[in-house]
Amino acid sequence: MSAKRQLTLNLFIYPGGHHEAAWRHPNSSPDDLLDIAFYQDLAKRAEEATFDSLFFADGPVLADNIRYASRFRVEPITWLAAIAGVTRSIGLIATASTTYFEPYNLARLFASLDHLSRGRAGWNIVTTSAGQAAQNFGLSEHPAHTERYERGREFVELITKLWDSWEDDAVAADQASGLFADTSKIHFVDHIGRHFRVKGPLNIPRSPQGRPVYVQAGSSEDGRLFAAQYAEAIFTAHQTIESARNFYADIKKRAAAFGRHPDHVKILPGISPFIGSTEAEARRLEEEFDALIQPDYSLTQLNRMLGIDLSSFDLDGPFPRHLLDRDGAIGVASRFQLVADIIDRENPTIRQLIQRLAGGRGHYVKAGTPEQIADEIQLWFENGAADGFNVMPPWLPGGFDVFACEVVPLLRKRGLFRDHYEGTTLRDHYGLPRPESLFATPVRASA
């Protein structure tokens, strides 16, 4: 008899919280945003709540609108290494770009984090959409969408070879004979491709998980193909259960077409909950945050998503739908499509739209009681829309604390979420197999 399916819950950490005005709220602590102790304490709370992992987003460029929001980026691998030292079980997922890293260096960084944490590392694979990043790396222009995904595929295939270049038993450490490593089990990768030429092998033994867990967050056509082929967890944004169910079914079907087990691809939408003792109280809390919005920031965000400058328009007027370039280059982006769907479905004013997006940049924002939040999570989980959620607190630490103290016990009572860790690695938490080395398989097959 198989074990009952369990939710996956990740804590998605943004400096200050996910609502764009979180840092301004009286319950926030903006002075703590660069204090590692703040994040270490938050990680320990998440571990006490038996969350699967912590997740840090990242990008190699300063946000255009830093004037109004706490949208700086700490380097996540460094940050998570410090968090690893004060935790024992919770997974540690960092974002890194295949466009602006080199495979060998990134392989070393993540292998080191996986060793340091005894098998808790995950890599959120992004190709980077911010065009300004090119100028930080000596490039004249940002690679096109398709080009970035082509490089990303080669990057993942190469870095996989590097992580596999040491077989699991390559380190003999035989003190009597003096043999430290069996060099027949350490392999050159000899990769020559369109974007990379790397001989290898990696200069560190294979890590506890074999490879970090592969995470991906793109929902465009290229993103879906990439995720179905490589990702073991997918972070995604949906406003309705219908949209989430369609995405879920599509990815699982595509993964199966690549010969993968659909259960080994976790679909994890984002949810940003405002929680109160009554629904009215939760909505008042959301309104408090929305009242702190800086429209200049919000309109810049909207321009980035839609490619439309609305700064000269009346905020309380209707959204100018005729300006949406659905057939242009930006129209293929998943976030463009998500926001366009909101406009088509709800016909909001510009102000209503920026308030709608302020809490999660297109992720699902839900205001309600702990029971209502638990009901929504259960509904999506049990009806083919999610394997779990990226929990995106509107502010920190309070937005997380109320979820951990009020919602998690309800999920446990309903038999949907663990009350203790059953394994020690992130792969254990996600129910993923530990992959064999690509280089070991032929050796065993011929033995």
Cα gap 395→405, rounded to integer Å: 15
* Residues in binding site for FMN: 58, 95, 145, 149, 219-220
Residues contacting 221, CB < 8 A, separation 6+: 332
Q: What are phi and psi of 317, to 5 degrees?
A: -95, 170
Q: Which of 29, 123, 49, 19 is nearest to 80 (CA)?
A: 123
Q: DSSP letters of 64-82?
A: TTTTTS------HHHHHHH
Q: Residue 188: helix, strand or coil by DSSP? A: coil
Q: Sort residue 437 into left (φ over 0), alpha (ψ -120 to 50) or beta.
A: beta
What does the alpha-carbon distance between residue 54 and residue 76 come to, in Å, rounded to a whole number? 11
What's the CA angle centered on 23, arms 17 and 26, to 5 degrees? 110
Q: Residue 428 — φ and ψ, nearest 5°?
A: -60, -50
Q: 242-268 burial string, b = 16+ CB within 10 Å, else e?
A: ebbbebbeebbebbeeeebebeebbbb
Beta-bridged to residue 275, according to DSSP, are 368
From CA 291, how far away is CA 69, in angstroms rounded? 14
Answer for the pair 306, 322: CB distance below 8 angstroms, yes or no.
no
Gap between the Cα atoms of 61 and 12, Å rounded? 20
Question: Which residues make up each annotated binding site?
Answer: 58, 95, 145, 149, 219-220
Cα(347)–Cα(232) distance, integer angstroms: 36
